[in-house]
A and B are shown apart, each in its own frame.
Chain A
Amino acid sequence: MPNLARRFRAICSRFAGLLHMDHGNDDFTAELESHVAMDVDDGIRTGLAPDEARRQALIRLGGLEQTRQTFRERRSLPWVEILIRDVRYGLRGLAKNPGFTTVAVLTLALGIGVTSTIFAVADAALLRSWPAAEPERLVRIVANTPQGPDDLFSYPESQDLAAQGKSLEGVLAYSRHSAILHTASESRQLVDEVVSPNYFSLLGTDPKLGPRFLAAAKNHERIVVISNAVWQRFFGADPRLVGKQISLTGRSFTVIGIAPPGFRGLMPFVPVELWLPLTTWGGENDRGSRDFELLGRLRPGVTAAEARAEIDTIGRRMAQDYPALNRGRTVSIVSERQRLREAAAPTLLMMIAVGMVLLICCANVAGLILARSDGRRKEIAMRLALGATRARLIRQLLTESVLLAAGSAALGLLLAVFLFRLQPALMPPSKVALGLDLHLDATLILFTTVSSMLAVLIFGLSPALQATRVDYVAALKRGETGADRSRRRVTLRNALVVVEIALAATLLTASGLVLRSLLASRRIDLGFDRQRDFVFFDMEPNLVAGYTPARTAAFFDEVETRTAALPGVKHAGLAQRVLLSETEGAVSKRVSIPGVQLPQDQPTIPVKFNAVDGNYFQAMGTRILEGRAFAITDSGTALKVAVISRNMANRFWPGGSALGRQIVVDGTACIVVGVAEDAKINGPREDPEPYLYLPFAQWPSNHASLIVDGGADSRALIAAERIVFQSADHNVPYEVRTIGYLMRQSFWSDQTLVGFVGTLGMLAIFLGAIGLYGVIAFIVNRRTREIGIRMAFGAERRNIVQLMLRQGLALAGIGACVGLVASLLTTRFLASVLYGVKPTDPLSFAASAIFVVLVALAACWIPARRAASVDPMQALRVE
């Protein structure tokens, strides 16, 4: 339609007119001048006097100013002009009040930032489209046994289900493992999924990848699909990588494809980097080895109930056919989407919680705006009286709120991105990368925009309506309006402030408790010298073909000897496992002790153990209390010996010496040659328990950790160690951990708790302070006249400050008391995570209360000072 095109062209031209406003106006002024001049010329020619000619010319024109006005309106877009004027006015108003603007923007930005962050988490964990086509048809196949629910199946079982289940299009099996990727420069542990050949085709992630993987896997080819992230990070996104060989845990695999970007496997929190077909992995024919999780895809049109009935029948048949494996085991399905949704329920709860935080932020900002617009009541009344419409004024006030919200949204997004960056630090330390794929994307920006505009409605609309609902005659006369109505509102806001402060007091008390608990657990004696700059090298020759026990021992020996000779290395020792490793330390040996009655008359008890070499105790700094450490003479052929922990010695030989006594470890008799101090095996907070050290030479292991104390520069040590490993055997994969990593891992939950509760506490007290400030500022504005009168009657500034502070402190005091009572009731739920501090720790309670009151004092101080600076003459003259 050409007409539309014309109109569009005209609008564009009018927008352009906006930009060149001044130039266009000058141009038109010149045109009008020339118009009038020509008219005057003609008039003079017909015999008029110049003045009269000009007068008539102007009459014919219809007035210079009117013409200019109609021209201007046509030239650009009047409403845009008004908008621009409102925006300018708003910006000017905000700039004139930097304190208000800063506090309001910060408050909103905090609320919006936190909400957006949690939204991004929820989005990544649950809302973002799941990496499969038609995910609503995917079901998880689960089993129930008399012992409880069980999600694992063997591959033959999955094939039975696929073959007999007519309601299912197919069944895919997957199992999570980890593999070591060797590149030219490094070896890196990555999470992999060992999957059935139909994995990609059944998920429908990529139309080309699925069939290619299926065909190659069925041919038993040694293939791998790598994640987009690995492709970028380790192979520089090399487009020719597909078809090439890469080395995984010492074996070579052909890269058959790159997973689509964003495909991170089937668990939201554990990103998978490699997919290997189970046909090259082995064990796929053993009905008993239940390693796989199963997902099925419903045929189109089949309901979950129909499929569940059929799967149940197949399960019963399996129980009949394989009674040894399947007796009492029933099989069913659950909707995978629903399962994921339920798993992400905590995120939704958090979403609600941060929604509340945003609401509180909005309420606070509404309070601030109200306190401020109260001061502008006169101006507003004047403008209404002069003929401005209420809608016009509301629009103007709302423009200001929108500006606030826009600034806060931008700042909030920055905060969210900053928090995304923190994610790796917040995740538990782990050898593989954990965490969600969080980034700034269009969805997040849209969410932030929408939520901040909704926030405008909440914090901006009500003050704007209230500020313009003025009986302006009364307002101009008395400077007072609707006192009764607003008193109720003040009470509501007071209650809100009390709640905010109570919440802050509770959270701060909890922060104090968890902080004291963290400090206490930091002081725990770990049973080794934590001040040393340890680096641990976890070596796994067992993953490389051809490593016989003799060769493994020689390899360990060579590495340890070379390491000890490195410059700067103070100690080097060897152990099967490292202390404080949450899982690795849990392996135990069956021990019996001749001549000692074991609990409940059992023949043996399990005792956790470690196989260590002669340098271990010295390297770790674990003290030998009695007897000796292991020596080079405690070889495989020599007399079997053991070192036991003090706890074990005290428990079985109380009052006497354990040295020289015999214990039987897994049927082998050993002589106790030393007693070592108790060390923390799995976690810093555990109670001492019997622990057993055995000589590595006598109890060899196919994997071990090299413990090195190499001085402050651990990076240099790691670099030097790389050369040691390369010359010993570059095929042996190893992982590096530092003492810092170990400590972070051990104290992660404590530290995270402190950070989490502390952040919440600070957020709450900040919001409480803003709320309190808003209320007091509002009161000060309302009572300006009263203050003036008081001062006129001789009240001193000090009295006025006290008067205002008393109001604020009353609110804060009530809030703090409520908060402390709430703390008394709730902190006992923290008892299980606290160490070395009681849930009713008076210091934490007192500190929290004092802090809350001090912050409240500071928040009231600013408006109170303003109240005291009221000039009584001016305040009264306002009458």
Chain B
Amino acid sequence: MAEKADVWQGTLALMVLRTLETMGPQHGYGLARRIEQTSDQLLALNYGTLYPALLRLEQEGFIRSRWGSSDNNRRAKFYELTEAGHRQGKKAIAEWEQATEILARFLRPAAEA
């Protein structure tokens, strides 16, 4: 089994926003599974750490939650993006792309530089 990467500080929020953006309203368990799948199982995600991140996003007004029922007819709390959440998602993606772009320049083999 390949060694899994820890979730970097601050990236979890972005992953949540992005996942909600593509999937629509989703409950915590679904989000955790989806993030794990998207990362091709490369990410070691303690599902539990997702909840404080969700709470924080909710406190900041980027997502909102309500109780509903899941595909298997279980009661679950669903999260969805707010208007501000959509904007924040776009903004964060732009920032992140810029950051990786910059880092990428440093990480290119020295000969190319």
Genuine A/B complex? yes
Binding site for B on A (CB under 8 A): 6-7, 9-10, 13-14, 27-28, 30-32, 34-35, 37-39, 41-42, 60-63, 66-67, 70-71, 73-75
The reply to whether the CB of B25 lies closer than 8 angstroms to some CB of chain A is no
Whether A61 lies near B48 (C-beta < 8 A) is: yes
Q: Which of A7, A14, A31, A71 contacts B77 (CB 8 A)?
A: A31
By the criterion CB–CB under 8 Å, are B59 and A14 in contact?
A: yes
B68 to chain A, nearest CB (A): 11
Tally of B interface residues using CB under 8 Å: 24
Question: When A38-B29, A61-B47, A75-B55 are in contact, do A6 and B74 touch as well, CB less than 8 Å?
Answer: no
B61 interface hit (Cβ, 8 Å): yes
27 inter-chain pairs at a CB distance below 8 angstroms, sorted by A residue, are A10-B56, A10-B59, A10-B60, A13-B59, A14-B59, A28-B51, A31-B77, A32-B51, A34-B27, A34-B75, A34-B76, A34-B77, A35-B29, A38-B27, A38-B70, A38-B72, A39-B29, A41-B74, A42-B33, A70-B48, A71-B51, A71-B52, A71-B55, A73-B52, A74-B52, A74-B55, A74-B56
Q: Given the complex of chains A and B, what is the CA–CA distance between A6 and B72 in angstroms?
A: 36
Interface pair B47/A70, CB less than 8 Å apart: no
Instruction: Report the minimal beta-carbon distance from B87 to chain A, rounded to whole angstroms.
Output: 9
Q: How far is the CB of A43 from chain B (nearest CB, A)?
A: 12
> Contacts A10-B60, A74-B55, A74-B56 hold; do A62 and B48 have CB atoms under 8 A apart?
yes
| A31 with B51: CB separation less than 8 A | yes
B52 x A70 contact (CB < 8 A): yes
Q: Does B46 contact A (CB under 8 A)?
A: yes
Residue among B32, B51, B74 having the largest count of chain A Cβ atoms under 10 Å: B51
Partner of A9, one of B48, B59, B75: B59
Interface string of B28-60 (1 = CB under 8 A from A): 111011000000000000111101100110111
Contact in complex: A6, B51 (CB < 8 Å): no
> Knowing A10-B59, A34-B27, A38-B29 touch, does A62 contact B47 (C-beta < 8 A)?
yes
Give the most central of A13, A38, A60, A73: most B CB within 10 Å. A38
From residue B88, how far is it (CB to closest CB) to chain A in Å?
A: 9
Chain A residues, CB < 8 A from B32: 60
Give the Cβ gap from A25 to chain B, nearest Cβ, in Å. Answer: 12
> In the complex, A749 Cα to B46 Cα: how many Å?
82
> B70 to chain A: which residues have CB within 8 Å?
34, 38
A14 to B61, CA, bound (A): 12
Considering only CB atoms, which chain B residue lies closest to A45 in the complex?
B72
B-side contacts of A74, CB under 8 Å: 52, 55-56
- Closest B residue to A64 by beta carbon equals B48
Among A10, A34, A70, chain B packs the most CB atoms within 10 A around the CB of A34
How far does the alpha carbon of A38 sit from the alpha carbon of B27 in the complex, in Å?
A: 10
Partner of A31, one of B28, B56, B59, B72: B28
A396 → chain B closest CB, angstroms:
28
Please indicate the chain B residues that have their CB under 8 angstroms from the CB of A41 in the complex. 72, 74
Kindly list the 6 A-B residue pairs having the minimum CB-CB distance in the complex, ordered from nearest. Answer: A67-B48, A62-B46, A62-B48, A74-B52, A10-B59, A13-B59
Instruction: Give min CB distance, A762 to chain B, whole Å.
Output: 56
Q: Find the B residue at minimum CB distance from A42.
A: B33
Q: How far is the CA of A31 from the CA of B28 in the complex (A)?
A: 8
Q: A351 CA to B29 CA in the complex, in Å? A: 68
Shortest distance from the beta carbon of B75 to any chain A beta carbon, whole Å: 6
- Distance (whole angstroms) from the CB of B1 to the closest CB of chain A: 15
B69 to chain A, nearest CB (A): 10
Supply 4 further A-B pairs (C-beta < 8 A) apart from A35-B29, A62-B47: A30-B77, A31-B51, A31-B76, A67-B48
Task: Give the Cβ gap from A77 to chain B, nearest Cβ, in Å.
Answer: 11
Q: For residue B74, which residues in chain A have a CB less than 8 angstroms away from its CB?
A: 34, 37-38, 41
Contact partners of A67 in chain B: CB under 8 A: 48-49, 51
Choose one: B33, B46, B58, B75; the contact of A61 (CB below 8 Å). B46
Q: How far is the CA of A14 from the CA of B72 in the complex (A)?
A: 33
Contacts of A31 on B, CB cut-off 8 Å? 28, 51, 76-77
Q: Which of B55, B61, B72, B74 has the most CB of A within 10 A?
A: B55
Given contacts A31-B28, A35-B28, A41-B74, is CB(A9)–CB(B47) below 8 Å? Answer: no
In Å, the complex CA distance between A28 and B52 comes to 11
Closest-CB distance, B20 to chain A (whole angstroms): 16
A61 to B49, CA, bound (A): 8
CB distance from B9 to the nearest CB of A (A): 14
Min CB gap A35→B, angstroms: 5
- Bound CA span A39–B72, Å: 12
| Residues on B with beta carbons closer than 8 Å to the beta carbon of A75 | 55
Q: Once bound together, how far apart are the Cα atoms of A73 and B52, in whole Å?
A: 8
The answer to whether B48 and A63 have CB atoms under 8 Å apart is yes
A62/B49 in contact, CB under 8 A: yes
Residues in A with CB closer than 8 Å to B30 are 38
The answer to whether A35 touches B56 (Cβ under 8 A) is no
CA distance A662 to B61 in the complex (A): 107
Give, as a whole number of angstroms, the nearest-CB distance from B80 to chain A: 15
Known contacts: A34-B77, A35-B28, A38-B70. The answer to whether A6 contacts B46 by CB under 8 A is: no
Minimum distance in angstroms from A41 CB to a CB of chain B: 6
By beta carbon, the residue of chain B nearest A60 is B47
State how many angstroms separate the Cβ of B64 from the closest Cβ of chain A.
12
B50-100 with Cβ < 8 A to chain A: 51-52, 55-56, 58-61, 70, 72, 74-77
* Residue in A7, A39, A67 whose Cβ sees the most chain B Cβ within 10 Å: A67
Instruction: Tell me, rounded to whole Å, the shortest Cβ–Cβ distance linking A56 to chain B.
Output: 11
Q: Is the CB of A9 within 8 A of B51?
A: no
A42 cross-chain contacts in B, Cβ below 8 A: 33
Q: Which of A34, A70, A73 contacts B49 (CB 8 A)?
A: A70
A771 to B75, CA, bound (A): 65
B76 near A6: Cβ-Cβ < 8 Å? no
Q: How far is the CB of B63 from chain A (nearest CB, A)?
A: 13
Residues on B with beta carbons closer than 8 Å to the beta carbon of A62: 46-49
CA distance A7 to B62 in the complex (A): 12
Distance in Å from the Cβ of A232 to the closest Cβ of chain B? Answer: 50
Interface centre among B32, B33, B46, B58 (most CB of A within 10 A): B46
A70 contact set on B, CB distance < 8 A = 48-49, 51-52
Point out the residues of chain B lying under 8 angstroms from A13, CB to CB.
58-59
Tell me, in angstroms, the Cα distance from A38 to B28 when the chains sit together. Answer: 10
Please report the C-alpha to C-alpha distance between residue A9 and residue B63 in the assembled complex, in whole angstroms.
13
Nearest CB of A to B107, in Å: 29
Smallest distance from the beta carbon of B77 to chain A beta carbons, Å? 5
Residues of B within 8 A of A10 (CB): 56, 59-60
| Cα of A39 to Cα of B48 in the assembled complex, Å | 12
Complex CA distance for A60 and B46, rounded to whole angstroms: 6
